[in-house]
Structure 1
Amino acid sequence: MEIAIILILALVGVLIFVNRHSQSGGNRTLPNQKVSDGKPSLTTSLAPRKEQSPRFDADNAIPAPIATVLKGSAYVVDGDTIVIQKTQVRLFGVDAPEINHPYGKKAKWALVSLCKGHAVKAEITAKDNHGRTVAKCYLEDGRDLSAEMVKLGLAIDWQKYSGGVYRALELPGARKKLWLADARQKGRMKVWEQYDAKQTALNQKQ
């Protein structure tokens, strides 16, 4: 009888031990295992972050610069306009007579003579109100075409655009000779209108 009681107590002890061991084993965590407390956890990746390339900003993008120098043979349009590489270029800082104005054809052929046989280098400065490219134009020997035309008395300085750099090169009486160009610089376009009307009337009589 005593032996039976001892065996029963031993069996009960074994069962209690096994039960406690299984419960404690279920709550064990591995060394690298995180215990969740029910709240979302923030984890930091050890991998290097990939930098995002900036988005293209069309509104603030700067366009690629256009060519600032043209060089080549020149086709002469009139006394202050040439064409280089299919680009119409106006001589910087001077004003020559229009082709149909007094001395207009003479100015054109003087510029033809200057450019003939030379490559002309045009250093672009701006665009004028007519969309023409304005440039300082030089011959291969360094001569400034604007200055040369003024020295020939077939163009006058246009101070509004040149700052007066060619005024000292003007021949005496050049502004009286090129009076229509002078009138344009002074904003007296009515003089042009009167001249053009007179020329039209003369052509109609012929």
Structure 2
Amino acid sequence: MRIVLFALLCFPLSFFSQTAAKVVGISDGDTITVLLDGNVQKKLRLAEVDCPEKKQPFGKNAKQFTSDQVFAKKIRFTETKKDRYGRSIAKVYYDNGKYLSAEIIKAGYGWWYYSYSKDADLGKMQETAKARKQGLWQDKKAVSPWDFRKEQREKAKAKRLQKQMEQLSVIDQK
């Protein structure tokens, strides 16, 4: 009993809740697919980081960085919750404890997702990468992915509205 209690005190609880897997796919800089026991694939959205979208500058670079770090490697992850698309949000660790989200931010290929993170150290890493003009911070006009997505939604909405107006105009002319 004492040994079990000692073991519980020596290891963080997150260690026990981690799942081992092999990375078999990289969707973009902040989304990976892993292979679990039983040949089950699972898509993971990285916690605390938001990378440029594929159509944004540095989107391909972010995907390549993530691939270089973890593709075909064994990782450990802890699920934190599900996002609105049903993906598991996860903290991913590799190469003896490196935290993938932190490595992406340090390299300048992602933003600290401060709306969903309380880890201010990630914000400091972002500021360091920005000061050093690493990765996407080479672009003085870098747009955060959440602002980019909002802009894309607004453009799509305006386009739909324009199309509706054109259709109404055709009906009025008849």
* TM-score bracket relative to the smaller structure: 0.5 to 0.7
Is residue 2:162 matched to residue 1:179? no
Per the alignment, residue 51 of structure 2 pairs with 96
Provide, for residues 73-94 of structure 1, a one-character-per-residue CA deviation record: whole Å limited to 9, x for no partner: 2121100000112111011111
Is residue 2:31 matched to residue 1:70? no
Provide, for residues 166-189 of structure 1, a one-character-per-residue CA deviation record: whole Å limited to 9, x for no partner: 1110122639554141525xxx71
Q: Pairwise CA RMSD of aligned residues?
A: 2.9
Aligned residue among 48, 62, 65 for 1:107: 62
| Sequence identity percentage | 30
SS of alignment partner, residue 73 of structure 1: strand
Per the alignment, residue 124 of structure 2 pairs with 168
Q: How many residue pairs align between the two structures?
A: 129
SS of alignment partner, residue 53 of structure 2: coil
The offset of 1:114, in angstroms, is 0.4
SS of alignment partner, residue 179 of structure 1: coil
Runs of 4+ in 1 over 4 A off after TM superposition: 191-195
The offset of 1:126, in angstroms, is 0.4
Structure with higher strand content? 2
Which letter does structure 2 place at the counterpart of 1:169?
M
Gaps of 5+ in 1: 1-67, 198-206
Which letter does structure 2 place at the counterpart of 1:154?
Y
Per the alignment, residue 3 of structure 1 pairs with none
Which letter does structure 2 place at the counterpart of 1:125?
T
Aligned residue among 42, 52, 56 for 1:87: 42
Per the alignment, residue 151 of structure 2 pairs with 190
What is the TM-score normalised by the length of structure 1? 0.55
In structure 2, distance between residues paired with 1:93 and 1:155: 10
The offset of 1:102, in angstroms, is 1.3
Task: Select the structure of larger CA radius of gyration.
Answer: 1
In structure 2, distance between residues paired with 1:156 and 1:119: 25
In structure 1, distance between residues paired with 2:140 and 2:85: 26
Structure with higher helix content? 2
Per the alignment, residue 165 of structure 2 pairs with none
Check 1:177–1:146 CA distance in 2 against 1; reply closer, same or farther (3 A cut): farther
SS of alignment partner, residue 95 of structure 2: coil
Provide, for residues 31-80 of structure 1, a one-character-per-residue CA deviation record: whole Å limited to 9, x for no partner: xxxxxxxxxxxxxxxxxxxxxxxxxxxxxxxxxxxxx5332221211000
In structure 2, distance between residues paired with 1:116 and 1:84: 9
Provide, for residues 81-140 of structure 1, a one-character-per-residue CA deviation record: whole Å limited to 9, x for no partner: 001121110111110011222111110011000014521111111001111100110003
The answer on whether the counterparts of 2:26 and 2:71 sit within 8 Å (CA) in structure 1 is no
The offset of 1:193, in angstroms, is 4.6
What is the TM-score normalised by the length of structure 2? 0.64
Which letter does structure 2 place at the counterpart of 1:179?
V
In structure 2, distance between residues paired with 1:182 and 1:189: 6
SS of alignment partner, residue 141 of structure 1: coil
Q: Which has the higher contact order (CA 8 A, sep 6+)?
A: 2
In structure 1, distance between residues paired with 2:52 and 2:107: 13
